[in-house]
Structures are given as structure tokens and as C-alpha cells.
Amino acid sequence: MAQQTEAPRRARLSRDRVVLAALALADKGGIESLSMRNLAKELGVVPMALYKHVANKGDLLDGMVDIVFSEAEFPSDGADWKTAMRQRAISMREALLRHSWAIGLMEGRMSPGPANLRHHNATMACMREAGFSFRTAVHAYNAMDSYIYGFTLQEKTLPFETPEESGEVVQTKAANVAQTMGAWADEYPYLAEIVVELGKAGFDYAAEFEFALDLILDGIERLLQQA
């Protein structure tokens, strides 16, 4: 009783609490703001207390990445492969936008978590059961994931804003570009076109994502028809 009122804000630590707090911290301030020391402060604890619940910072990142996988939809049994793959891609982009620090960490970690395994297995299952050969399914999976990771990687850093937002950031970059181009602006007319046109109209990331996604899905569909 006395203990409970003495430190009411300091619930017992656990691996889940540590990993979820780390995820929230990275979402808010970016991966570079996630330090063991900052995380400890956020949890009202001394840095070393964390090491009772995660082995080290890499183990912490493993846990965070698996939460991101758990947020991405995966194909359910018997779904039409093309709509299932389309939905998977859109859902994965959304999860990666919510947690953009995760993009470069999704495939590289050596200890994949349960959500990771479930996701990859379900995606391969969907393609194989739709009639794709093993090798063609690998090609198709590679094409889609490379596109998803690459698109979100750019989306996270590109300065072009969505049509709804102001063009403030674009104008900063445009100013920098103009400065760098200096007197040679005439040398780069097509680059100027991009800066001007996308600065004016904005950049609809969701529509842009789906454009090339459908281009790739149509290409994959053709592989199935040939086989």
C-alpha cells in the first residue's frame, strides 16, 4: 500500500513496456533520439535498469521491428492473390509511414520475430497457392518489397509536400537548388521543371505509390499467364 502511493508513476518494468516505450520515442523523435539513456528517463528509471529486460540495443530494435510487422496486413487463406498483394503493399506502406525509422531494419535483422515470420510465410503462401512457381514467387516478392521499401524510404525524406500542405519545404529546397545551380540554371531545365511543377501542384504520395504498384502487379500477373 505504502509502496503503491510512494511511487505511483513507476509501474513495474517489463520487456513489453520497454519495447513499446522505445517505439513511441522513435516515432516521436526519430531513431536518433532513441538512446538507452533517453528511454530510461522516459520510463523514470536509471539506464541500467533496461538491461534486465532487453539484452542490448539490438535486441530492443528486434522487438520494435516485430511490432511494425504485426501492424502490416498479410494475405489471408484463399484470398485472390492480386487484391491481397495490393492490400498488403498499401498496409505495409502505412505501417512504415507511422514508423519510418524501421524502413532500413525490416529485412536485415538476424533474429526475426513471430510477426515477421507469419507475414513472410503468409505472403509466400498466397503467391504459391495462386499458382506461381517458387522462383517466380521469389521474383515477384522481391519486386514488390523492393518497391515498397524504396518508395517509403524516399517518401520519408523527399521535400515535396502533399497537395494539401503549403509549399514551404519545397521552396527551401528550391532556393538551395537555385543557389547551387547559380548562373548555370539554364543547364538543368528538366530539373527546374520538377522543382517548379511539384512545388506548384504538390506531390500526392499515396496516388504515386499506387501508380507504380499497379504497374508492377500487372507485370506480375503477366508472368502467371505465361506459366
Partner DNA sequence: ACCTGAACACCGTTCAAGT
Where along the sequence are the contacts to DNA (CB under 7 A)?
Answer: 12-13, 34-38, 45-49, 51-53, 56-58
| Residue 168 in grid coordinates | 514551404
Among 142, 165, 200, 206, binds a copy of itself (CB under 8 A): 142
Q: 29-53: buried (b, 16+ CB within 10 Å) or exposed (e) per residue?
A: eebeebebeebbeebeeeeeebeeb
Residue 12 CB contacts under 8 Å (≥ 6 apart), including other chains: none
* Binding partner of residue 37 among a copy of itself, DNA, none, CB cut-off 5 to 8 Å per kind: DNA
CA 49 to chain CA mean position, Å: 29
* Binding partner of residue 146 among DNA, a copy of itself, none, CB cut-off 5 to 8 Å per kind: a copy of itself
Number of residues that bind a copy of itself (CB under 8 A): 58
104 forms part of the interface with a copy of itself (CB under 8 A): yes
Between residues 38 and 171, which has the closer beta carbon with respect to DNA?
38
Taking alpha carbons only, the member of 115, 73, 67 closest to residue 92 is 73
Among 16, 80, 165, 197, binds a copy of itself (CB under 8 A): 197
| Residue 91 in grid coordinates | 498496409
* Binding partner of residue 200 among DNA, a copy of itself, none, CB cut-off 5 to 8 Å per kind: none
Alpha helices by DSSP H, the chain? 2-6, 15-29, 36-42, 57-71, 81-98, 114-129, 134-157, 168-181, 189-201, 205-226
Rg (CA), the chain: 22
Least Cβ distance, residue 149 to a copy of itself (angstroms): 4
133 forms part of the interface with a copy of itself (CB under 8 A): no
Least Cβ distance, residue 85 to DNA (angstroms): 37
Residue 140 CB contacts under 8 Å (≥ 6 apart), including other chains: 127, 132, 220, 223
90 forms part of the interface with a copy of itself (CB under 8 A): no
* Binding partner of residue 15 among DNA, a copy of itself, none, CB cut-off 5 to 8 Å per kind: none
**Residue 128 near residue 78 (C-beta atoms within 8 A):** no
Q: Which residues make up the interface to a copy of itself (CB under 8 A)?
A: 103-104, 107-108, 110-114, 117-118, 120-121, 124-125, 128, 134, 138-139, 142-143, 145-151, 153-154, 156-159, 172-173, 176-177, 180-181, 187-191, 193-194, 197-198, 208, 211-212, 215-216, 218-220, 223
